[in-house]
Amino acid sequence: MFIRNLGNVFKIFEDILPLMFEKTPKSGLIISVGVGQGIESAICYSISVSHPDKVIFLVTPQSEKDTMERVQKECAKKDVEIPESELILIENENDVEAVFKKAREAIKRMRKSDIPPANITVDYTYGTKSMSAGLLYATILERCGHIRYVTGKRDSKTGRVIPGTEKELTTSIRDLLAPIVIKDAISFFNLYQFAAAKRVLESFLEGMDEESAMKVYPSICRLFKLCEVYRHWDAFNHEDALKAFEEVDREAIRNIAPQIGVNKGWLGKIVNGLKGEEGLNFAEELLVDLWMNARRRMEEERYVDAVSRFYRLTEMIAQHQLEKNYGIDTRNVDIEKVPENLRNELGNYRDEKGKIKIPLFKAYELLASLGDPLGKKVMEDENTYKLFRSVISFRNNSIAAHGTQLVGKDFAEKFEKFVEELLKEAIGERKLEKMEKEAAFPKLDPQKIS
């Protein structure tokens, strides 16, 4: 029994031993130092409440000479230990740009001492207004942890804080940055730059565990989860997008944008279509989803990407029609379902495994031979046929396919119009319009996310 218990003791000791030697993160304090009687007490107070591993004093020629000696005496008198410290001299305390550069230098020196910006507190109480402005700008730009202002009961004659009455007002830089981060992330989101939006939010939340982040910054966490959904979806990772949707709570759907809830239902249809639950390999939802993706690329002026999607959609529309209306799979054509006048010709597309796989043009020719309205429109309507041959020929000779021709806005818009007409014929104009509304990505309003 004793040996077994002793073994448990050793196991516990083995678990806690690494924690005993784990390094506590170092912290730093940067203080602007001005002149005037009494500020040494407030500076001493700031050091005492921070318990920093390192202090950097931003001094002017006068404060270096007059104030720093008083600070040392005050700390000795109050038994406040000044840790490792440095002075950085600001020659002109009224030059905001000069102060800003020196403040960044102070933060850089903290980094060299293994103190990251997140662990730095900046006290801007003392010094000129220009010193405070330059120091605060550098603090926010470098994403330091906190800013501090020391206040207290003030002397009615001098206006200075009476020694012994000091109290701190500390603000998290993260809190100040949150509205800016939300605005930036939403701008990226609305431009369909979901990975960029995610990186902005990730950087902001760095160092926080999920539970703490959700308590303090729920809106940012919800926005982060939405970026995950739409990042996957926009890359055609529909199943991963639907899984990511499980992390999005009802409040986000209700308060941020109702369209998000509509999208969730639509995405479920897409995933079901991919699994063939409707008995089709090329369900209407898949066609519309690709169509909306292509239109987003048009919005971004990414015309090569848009044209690639329009071409694939032209193929899919024919595949959809043949599969839905005639039970024919273009990847493995059942020759018995093909009109006799085309059987010999399509037989030439049989591969080494015996499967007949027909290309785009032949798919539309087959539709026309079967009397399909879409096939007849493409192959027998003179204007549509010319447009069909034109866009396919240009695409094949473009840099998006086999050639070197540039793909510009004019051609992309021409192809877009052609594909839209095919979709209206295949799905129906009213139904297409309804499905487009379901599949449209939301545009987020910064006013609704705070």
Mean pLDDT of the chain, nearest integer: 88
Q: What is the DSSP letter of 181?
A: H
pLDDT at 2: 46
Region 179-207: mean pLDDT is 94
Q: E strands within 135-236?
A: 146-151, 167-172
Tokens standing for 378? Answer: 């493409």
Specify the 3-state DSSP secondary structure of 172: strand
- Summary count for the chain: helices (H), strands (E): 20, 6
pLDDT digits (tens, 9 = 90+) for 256-270: 888 999 999 999 989
Tokens standing for 427? Answer: 């799905």
Q: What is the DSSP letter of 212?
A: H
> Which residues, 6 or more positions from 212, have their beta carbon under 8 angstroms from its beta carbon?
none
Of 149-153, 218-222, 223-227, 435-439, least confident by mean pLDDT is 149-153
Position of tokens 């690639």? 308
* 187: exposed, middle or buried (Cβ count in 10 Å: 0-12, 13-18, 19+): middle
Is the pLDDT at 442 greater than 60? The verdict is: yes
146 in Cβ contact with 31 (< 8 Å): no
3-state helix, strand, coil in the chain (%, to 5): 65, 10, 30
What whole-number distance in Å separates Cα of residue 193 and Cα of residue 87? 44
pLDDT at 9: 47
pLDDT-above-90 percentage for the chain: 64
pLDDT at 39: 86
What whole-number distance in Å separates Cα of residue 225 and Cα of residue 68? 50
Q: E strands within 118-241?
A: 120-123, 146-151, 167-172
Domain boundaries, the chain: 28-165, 295-441
Compute φ and ψ for 449, nearest 5 degrees. -125, 110
CATH of domain 28-165: 3.40.50.10770
* CA nearest neighbour of 168 among 36, 306, 263, 42: 42
pLDDT class of 320 with cuts at 50, 70, 90: very high
DSSP output for 23-84:
PPPP-EEEEEE--STTHHHHHHHHHHHH--SEEEEEE-HHHHHHHHHHHHHHHHHTTPPP-E
> Which residues, 6 or more positions from 181, have their beta carbon under 8 angstroms from its beta carbon?
200, 201, 204, 220
Please give the model's pTM, rounded to 2 decimal places: 0.79
